[in-house]
Structure 1
Amino acid sequence: MSNAARSIGLLLFFAALQVFAAPQTFEQAKIEARQFVYYDQTQAGTFYCGCNWQWAGQSGGRVDLKSCGYKTRSQVSRATRTEWEHVVPASNIGRARQCWQKGGRPNCNKTDLVFNAMEADLHNLTPSVGEVNADSANFRFGVLPATPKRHGACDFKVDFKGRVAEPRDEVKGQIARIYFYMHDRYDMRLSRQQQQLLMAWDKRFPISDWERERDKRIASRMGHSNPFVTGERRWTLNHKNTADGIVSKIPTSHPASLVKKAGASTGKIRGNRNSRVYHLPSDCPSYDAIKPKNIIEFSSVAEAQSTRFRKAGNYR
């Protein structure tokens, strides 16, 4: 694919993100994960430990340590709060992008739209006890039969020296299918050893009712499901990635000369993700003043209002 075609594909891809109101930053993703995915799951348990929590602030939570027999290993403040865990670590995502080599995460956030989409992908986010999020770091997954638990009754094991973590059985299958999704969609490499382990977990630990419901909720925001949850795709050894999240296929009925940049006027109702205000394409002086990165487009006023956007007050 030529650079020009790839650029056009990227523009189409991010225009599609705006239509579906998919989060385009990690900060926004955390808020949407609370509002639209996990809003009623505080008694269902955090990802690795199964602890209950109470919401606090826009996207955070306070962990009920007694509910899961959790014991703090070393970080008291992080043990008592939830954090949004990237199941596929953000550093692993970053290393797949050239921007990471030139300044790490801050540089990627400033310069790479694809990295921001990867970092904000709701399919890869789960609520976790903060200390466990820290202890899991960017370690690979494995089986640790001789390693003791370090967090009380929390069934999560970590070998710091070997940089290996083993989660509880209840989430192993979900982890596998999230890994398959992220590596397939964003064209990331997965070692043969990790492929074999995750394929075994995928087979042994089938999709739960909550995993299916979670996928449906996320799809309503992202505009697409995890195909390894819906059954549309299966991972086999040395899987060939689709790279759907890197470029979007260019429709033959839309030549390059007709493709508009994301943020160009489309005649749709336009929301500002910062102010949570929506603007109509006519009679609104601020319609074309919104920064492209802050634009969300809606097909109707009802759709804008259903996501808690309010009408701008500066119409002529």
Structure 2
Amino acid sequence: MRLFLYFTLCLIINFSVNAEQFSSFSSAKKHLIKTLPDDSKSLYCGCDIKRQGKKLVPDPNGCGYIPRNAMTCSGKENVRAKRIEWEHIVPAWEFGHQLQCWQNGGRKNCRKVSEKFRKMEADINNLAPAIGEINADRSNFRYGMVTSHSPKYGACPIKIDFKQRVFEPPIYARKRIADAYFYMQQTYGLKISDKQRQLFEAWQRLEVAQVNDRKAL
């Protein structure tokens, strides 16, 4: 418990530095596109991100990403595989379902009537650049560990169990994910199940252990 409180305090201090508020998801995305550092990489696949005008696109050459579906069911090019989107680490579906507005009309209604939802949806501390196809396939699946897996995205080290609706992120993204969940819990009262909390605490401990190992070298 003491370790959990320590991590929570650290992430509050960390995130509060960048606590700029936005009134809508669209305004938050515009800000992030403009201010994204040149050395940024996509959250799940670790791909370099390039600018094409006002758009951001992944560079698959360095990360080995290969689309799971190069074409859509209708036979058209899968454009989401060639663009960067802003992934809600805690899905809007997850935090939205904890608000009454969602029960009365889903995301559209929450955007219309709930200031709290709009703040949560537009909070840049819960947003990360991700390849559009990965963002779509992750959907609102919970994070977890996937036992069986066959590569579906080239060298991109993610695992998805579509049947069980579980998404396993790569090791290098896990602390970022855990921090975002605990930030949303502390800031907005997000409810996190005991199982998920234990997983995220383990991911944070792993990061601390890896940092200590590097210092010892």
Match of 2:105 among 94, 103, 106: 103
Alignment match, 1:55: 51
Change (3 A) 1:208 1:137: farther
- 1:5-154 paired onto structure 2 within 5 Å: 22-36=21-35, 38-41=36-39, 44-58=40-54, 60-74=55-69, 76-154=78-156
Aligned counterpart, 2:166: 164
- Residue type matched to 2:44 in 1? Y
Give the aligned partner of residue 7 of structure 2: none
- Separation in structure 2 between the aligned mates of residue 96 and residue 207 of structure 1, nearest angstrom: 34
Shift in alpha-carbon separation, 1:57–1:24, aligned structure 2, 3 A: farther
The alpha carbon displacement at 1:185 in A equals 1.3
In structure 2, C-alpha distance between the alignment counterparts of 1:51 and 1:136, rounded to whole Å: 17
Change (3 A) 1:56 1:25: farther
Alpha-carbon distance in 1 for matches of 2:126, 2:20: 17
Measure, in 2, the Cα distance between the counterparts of 1:207 and 1:118: 31
- Separation (CA, whole Å) in 2 of partners of 1:203 and 1:130: 30
Aligned-pair identity in percent equals: 41
Would the aligned equivalents of 1:173 and 1:206 in 2 still touch at CA under 8 Å? no
2-structure distance, mates of 1:122, 1:206: 24
Contact kept in structure 2, 1:25 and 1:120, CA below 8 Å: yes
Contact 2:45 2:156 in 1 (8 A): yes
1:221-260 correspondence runs (5 A): none
Equivalent runs, 1:143-292 vs 2, <5 Å: 143-206=145-208
Instruction: Mark the runs of 5 or more structure 2 residues left unpaired by the alignment.
Output: 1-18, 73-77, 212-217
Runs (4+) off by over 3 Å: 206-209
**Cα offsets for 1:114-142 (capped at 9, x unmatched):** 10000000100000000000111111111
If each structure's helix is expressed as a fraction of its own residues, which one has the higher value?
2
CA distance in 2, matches of 1:208, 1:175: 17
CA gap of 1:193–1:115, structure 2 versus 1, over 3 A, is same
Q: Which has the higher contact order (CA 8 A, sep 6+)?
A: 2
**Aligned equivalent of 1:313:** none
Asked if the contact 1:136–1:165 (Cα under 8 Å) also holds between the matched residues in 2, the reply is yes
CA 1:208–1:171: 2 relative to 1, 3 Å: farther
Superposition RMSD on alpha carbons, in Å? 2.0
| Native 8 Å contact 1:73 1:150 kept in 2 | yes
